[in-house]
Structure 1
């Protein structure tokens, strides 16, 4: 028996860790329910809640080490997610735009801040420059809004996130330099140390982190271990940045960029990262920010109010000017300008770091013994008020602009959906080991943020009399459903008895209006007759069951052989035959390749004859993604592709049924080549929808 404690401590602030944690969870749970009715953005509501329960409000909870730890993790999480959500191909394309915006949003506030600090507030030059650095820095506190609304890959968001990293880096480097100059610590060695440490930090994160993550994900499949590993890299990157003299948020963002390609946006790991961040870490950070707000600063002295008013007005004006210049420079829409302004106008992390450093730097003492600080107490109090104001402005502006963009995207998606058939992907599964990879491939090929449209089928031959066969089938289907659920996607499981497995697959495909089939690759070695135009030669070949499915269905079909986890594949090499553009399913499978490029982040290289290349490039221009095109005419010498293969590549062959427009005799030898020349590589045989020989529309 355990003794029951009858003493309950009801004094304020709350010290009981269980009660404290319960209170914060209740706030996180209740805030959306209450604030949605009041039309107050969720993020702002958490900040207000933090101010109410914090030491300057009702004094229910102190901003102690536990709150600071959780809040720090939340801030790093926001920056990490912003790097992880980046569309790297779009980021590379827009990197110069991010650079331009970063210079706008740094230089405009810097210039206004120096003038205001020196001439309006009467601060010394070093203090004025440091105050201007506060104006230039910004925090992506409203990023969860664009993430939840599904526009994290919009051009305005990409520009804003990249620009934030640039302006925060410049602002924090300015902080380091000004403090060093004010204290007399700047010499020749100072500049060498700063430059080398920053370069070394960036190189370690950008080069070493992807190598470590690739090795880990390839050898460790445990979901919990993968998540903890990613979290460890985030904090390691933040610490390395801190050692280099940068703010930790820069390291967290660089960690997100480094792991971007290895954590696909549709993967279960990405789903877990976003879930934990939005459920725990980020709300803790926002509540912790609210606890900093001291409303009593309004009534302490006129100087704090004056400094706060100047800071709020100039910061808002400067960030709006930077967003306006960016809009005009790159011809963006008004809603995109609003999103850029909203994301860049909040000041929390770097601003707090800078003001605390400036406040703690003592330049001397007055005759009365009072310390002369680089930034005085009025700036500290004004910063707290400025945080509340800028967070409010940022949240409302981002919510408005992001909502309008999301609504416009939804309307375009509805138009696209009305022109294209709804996706229904069938995944025949035969064992637990391959089910997860088949599901992963299917998710990569489908439109993002569409939680439906996947079917897993386990077919049982009527002639099998094993009493445990159905139990094993249910276990395999449960494994497939669990793999899909990890990516927050619903997968409908189907168990079917039929005269043979191929007949069950074809029948379900007709009944469910299936648009794509993703199935495992099965080999057979004895020679068998060809089935309905599917070549089955002697030696290694696709199995009879797959050939039968292809012969009796005209559906885009992917025969997938996974030699390594799909998330660790660095490049997909797509080999396209001549006249592939004349097949009925050309647009369909190209759409799938485009989704693969967008969802996986891996490089796509398309090898095709010169005559087919213009059609591929036209499609690529309409649907930009990370895809390169290489002219390839050696279909009679397919083993020559071995020279282009690298470790961690996945090889794709766009196939054809015999006597169709794009058929090439070498296709019958591809299974043999896969075993002789391309063993150890993952590969996909892609069979598109094809019209019959007598249909002149596709000839």
Structure 2
């Protein structure tokens, strides 16, 4: 009844929560679609929509506590996603570049801002410094756009995100110092309290949060519980940041970095985190920013127009100069400069917080008894205009640079796509192991290119089990649901065959499978019979890289992956193919890799590591007779990856036959993956027909492997 009365009376602003929420959802749905036809970025479309329906526009919706709450959550979500999606190895590799950019994008706006405040706007020194700090900070408002285009791991994005942490922290510290000085609180106690609180806050998030997260993810696998837990961590970090005296966005970003390795980029949890953020939280924030914009300030006075012009010009110029100097310093491309400028030009959250605090800070009264504010009302109005203009330019520039980079990368990928199409086969027997097998298969894939995945269930027609087909189909459906949760498609294959090995090998040949992922149940050991049947029946019938996986805990909760590579592995033609997959695991999870290998193999892999860095440590391969020391080497949260070989190949060793005993003795409480490299033979090259392996001599073979490694890693 109340809803009908409100519709009839057309009272503004709308107070009915149902209508208000419906209107916001319609905006989120239609604004990007309609404005996209005008080549306007979706992010900018939501800001414009917020301006139109907000209190300074048509007045349909008030910027009340609900909008502010949702907007705050959206802002924290943007910073959290920036930390979560960043490639930690690239982040460490580019840390010095991030520092350089961070100082450029802080010092240049500070210098120009102070000069503009003193000589163009005739402000006091204290007010000019605060104004300059507003120019120095920025909001990654264009980050969702960059992320959707798939270049979140680009070096320019990486450097900009790292620089954002630096400049926003420094700008907010300037704000805290300025406000403290107006109250006479900047003394030794103030500095001691600030430093101690920052150290405690950072230590708790960086060192304690990951341990809590790993424990929770191992204990609770429910999807809803894991997602809520992540939100708890984000807002806990944000609250701790405010207690430490810095802005909440710093805490959200650090939480993203801290639990980065616990949420692989291809995991179902990551898919849910991004989905909820991009569809609900972030759009609410953008609409809330639009509600702050007031076009009427242009008509209030010439002073407001002048202040808005100066602030907008200085903010854009300073950030462009910072991006330009960064480009010139590190020899970046023009499109990378556009991305740096687009990401760092938008003024929103931290700027708004600073201007509101400055506006509400009274530093005295004038001769008429009116309060003298640290930042005047004209500065407040000029800030609103600056937010609109900078967000517009930031969205357009970021989109332009990102699209050009995507087009350049796609043309490069297309030139290599026809070389080796990846097809992964996952035989599934029960729902208990299918989820982990699907997740591992996704982690084996390149972060930039999805492989074709096939789930196979084999039914023995000689067994009289009326419910076998229904059980098999149910298992396949469950596997498809797991893959769909990570935005991957899974082909379901149901096959009747009296022999599992024959059925798998036939499917491999029929579908030109390149990788086979087999699973062992958590409580199942490995017998000599199992390994013998595998090597004699399955591996002899098919030629594909084979992975035998037994999960003991969720894959993302492993601290380290110990990779045992037998001496001479680099001489085998299958070497590049499994190595790329191990590399993909490291890139997708960010976990630490420890390679146990011979000196000759290390030379090969070290060269790859220079151009494609991961968290990697080299150690000497132990003598085959000393593999009984696994219980000393392995730690509780380790995963063992052991590369084996087939009889007659260069890296084969008789002690590989002892693997079942080693596993049953030392790996009962550990996850492990056994890798059998593919061995191309004449007549059955499985995607490598162009090589003619039987005609390749030792020198040519090494040369081919080197070229194949370069080709495979080039696509990564």
Indicate whether the TM-score tops 0.5.
yes
Change (3 A) 1:326 1:5: closer
Q: Is the 8 A contact 1:52 1:58 kept in 2?
A: yes
Q: TM-score under structure 1 normalisation?
A: 0.95
Summarize the alignment of residues 79-478 of structure 1 with structure 2, pairs less than 5 Å apart.
Answer: 79-419=79-419, 421-451=420-450, 453-478=452-477
Cα drift, residue 410 of structure 1 = 1.1
SS in 2 for 1:695: helix
Q: Is the 8 A contact 1:341 1:394 kept in 2?
A: yes
Q: C-alpha distance in 2, partners of 1:585/1:620?
A: 19
Q: Is the 8 A contact 1:452 1:490 kept in 2?
A: no
Q: Is the 8 A contact 2:525 2:664 kept in 1?
A: no
Q: Is the 8 A contact 1:264 1:600 kept in 2?
A: yes
SS in 2 for 1:611: helix
Q: C-alpha distance in 1, partners of 2:447/2:135?
A: 38
Q: Establish whether residue 609 from structure 1 lines up as the match of residue 609 from structure 2.
A: no
Cα drift, residue 698 of structure 1 = 6.5
SS in 2 for 1:499: coil
Kindly provide the CA deviation profile for residues 333-383 of structure 1, in whole angstroms up to 9, marking residues without a partner as x: 111111101100000000011111111110111232210111111110100
Report the equivalent of 1:531. Answer: none
SS in 1 for 2:118: helix
Q: C-alpha distance in 2, partners of 1:369/1:525?
A: 86
Q: Establish whether residue 642 from structure 1 lines up as the match of residue 640 from structure 2.
A: no
Summarize the alignment of residues 667-686 of structure 1 with structure 2, pairs less than 5 Å apart.
Answer: 667-686=656-675
Q: C-alpha distance in 2, partners of 1:624/1:172?
A: 33
Cα drift, residue 524 of structure 1 = 7.0
Cα drift, residue 115 of structure 1 = 0.8
Report the equivalent of 1:57. Answer: 57
Change (3 A) 1:331 1:643: farther
Q: C-alpha distance in 2, partners of 1:402/1:248?
A: 28
Q: C-alpha distance in 2, partners of 1:66/1:343?
A: 27
Deviates more, 1:627-636 or 1:63-72: 627-636
Report the equivalent of 1:8. Answer: 6
SS in 1 for 2:6: coil
SS in 2 for 1:261: helix
Cα drift, residue 195 of structure 1 = 0.6
SS in 2 for 1:542: helix
Deviates more, 1:167-176 or 1:622-631: 622-631
Kindly provide the CA deviation profile for residues 224-272 of structure 1, in whole angstroms up to 9, marking residues without a partner as x: 0000000111011101001111000000000100110000000000000
Cα drift, residue 595 of structure 1 = 1.0
SS in 1 for 2:139: coil
Q: C-alpha distance in 1, partners of 2:527/2:239?
A: 59
Q: C-alpha distance in 2, partners of 1:666/1:474?
A: 40
Q: C-alpha distance in 1, partners of 2:6/2:43?
A: 33
Cα drift, residue 646 of structure 1 = 1.9
Kindly provide the CA deviation profile for residues 597-636 of structure 1, in whole angstroms up to 9, marking residues without a partner as x: 1111111121111122212222333433232222224222
Kindly provide the CA deviation profile for residues 614-663 of structure 1, in whole angstroms up to 9, marking residues without a partner as x: 12222333433232222224222112343332221110111111121110
SS in 2 for 1:252: helix
SS in 2 for 1:394: helix
Kindly provide the CA deviation profile for residues 466-491 of structure 1, in whole angstroms up to 9, marking residues without a partner as x: 11111111111111111111101111
Q: Is the 8 A contact 2:526 2:660 kept in 1?
A: no
Report the equivalent of 1:658. Answer: 647
Change (3 A) 1:591 1:527: closer
Q: Is the 8 A contact 2:71 2:286 kept in 1?
A: yes
Kindly provide the CA deviation profile for residues 152-181 of structure 1, in whole angstroms up to 9, marking residues without a partner as x: 000000000010110000000000001111
Report the equivalent of 1:72. Answer: 72
Equivalent of 2:565, from 576, 593, 596?
576
Q: Is the 8 A contact 2:526 2:664 kept in 1?
A: no
Report the equivalent of 1:594. Answer: 583
Report the equivalent of 1:518. Answer: 517
Cα drift, residue 412 of structure 1 = 1.8
Q: Is the 8 A contact 2:106 2:167 kept in 1?
A: yes
Cα drift, residue 119 of structure 1 = 1.3
Equivalent of 1:630, from 594, 619, 642?
619
Cα drift, residue 415 of structure 1 = 2.1
SS in 2 for 1:463: coil
Cα drift, residue 671 of structure 1 = 1.6
- How many residues are matched? 684
SS in 1 for 2:291: helix
Change (3 A) 1:686 1:698: farther
- Name stretches of at least 5 consecutive residues in structure 2 with no aligned partner: 683-692, 699-716
Q: Is the 8 A contact 1:516 1:555 kept in 2?
A: yes
Q: C-alpha distance in 1, partners of 2:107/2:144?
A: 27
Q: Is the 8 A contact 1:501 1:545 kept in 2?
A: no
Q: C-alpha distance in 2, partners of 1:220/1:188?
A: 46
Q: Is the 8 A contact 1:71 1:288 kept in 2?
A: yes
Q: Is the 8 A contact 1:460 1:500 kept in 2?
A: no
- Name stretches of at least 5 consecutive residues in structure 1 with no aligned partner: 529-540
Q: Is the 8 A contact 2:31 2:42 kept in 1?
A: yes
Q: Is the 8 A contact 2:550 2:672 kept in 1?
A: yes
Q: C-alpha distance in 1, partners of 2:697/2:678?
A: 11
Summarize the alignment of residues 526-605 of structure 1 with structure 2, pairs less than 5 Å apart.
Answer: 542=531, 544=533, 548-605=537-594
The CA RMSD measured in Å over matched residues stands at 1.7
Q: C-alpha distance in 2, partners of 1:526/1:280?
A: 51
Q: C-alpha distance in 2, partners of 1:6/1:272?
A: 36
Q: C-alpha distance in 2, partners of 1:479/1:519?
A: 17
Change (3 A) 1:181 1:635: same
